Amino acid sequence: MRDFRKIKAWALGDDLTVAVYRATDSYPKSEQYALASQIRRAAYSVPSNIAEGASRKTKRDYLHFLYISRGSLSEVEYFLHLSRRLGYLSDSNYRRLNDEAIETQKCLCGLIKAVEEEL
């Protein structure tokens, strides 16, 4: 079993999740159970799927959860884009969060590639 806390992609996803939660606190009340909820769920899906996959016995199972995490991260990127278009995120907040998402995506893709090569 792998210790997920030692996986850099997990740490970046965890940081991104905290940043998303803080940013969505200021969303309009009408969005608390809509867009804010959706982006939060997508964000915490990233590190939680890395953690769950790390506990799996086979590399193939681990990889499956990494793929789910990558998909959730793509959702986060879209929801950030939508939030900016709707005026819920300033351009500077959007850029900061998007940069974090991109950094997480690069790291996660590197992890996926490494695990794929081990199969």
Tens of pLDDT, residue by residue over 38-73, are 999 999 999 999 999 999 999 999 999 999 999 999
Q: Model confidence over 22-40: pLDDT tens digits?
A: 999 999 999 999 999 999 9
- Residue 91 has phi, psi (to 5 degrees) of -60, -40
Do the beta carbons of residue 19 and residue 39 sit within 8 Å?
no
User: Which domains are seen in the chain, by residue range?
Assistant: 4-118 (1.20.1440.60)
Cα–Cα–Cα angle for 13, 19, 32, nearest 5°? 110
| Predicted structure pTM score | 0.96
CA distance 105 to 96: 14
Do the beta carbons of residue 115 and residue 59 sit within 8 Å?
yes
Listed residue (36, 11, 8) closest to 22, CA to CA? 36
Return the pLDDT at 77: 98
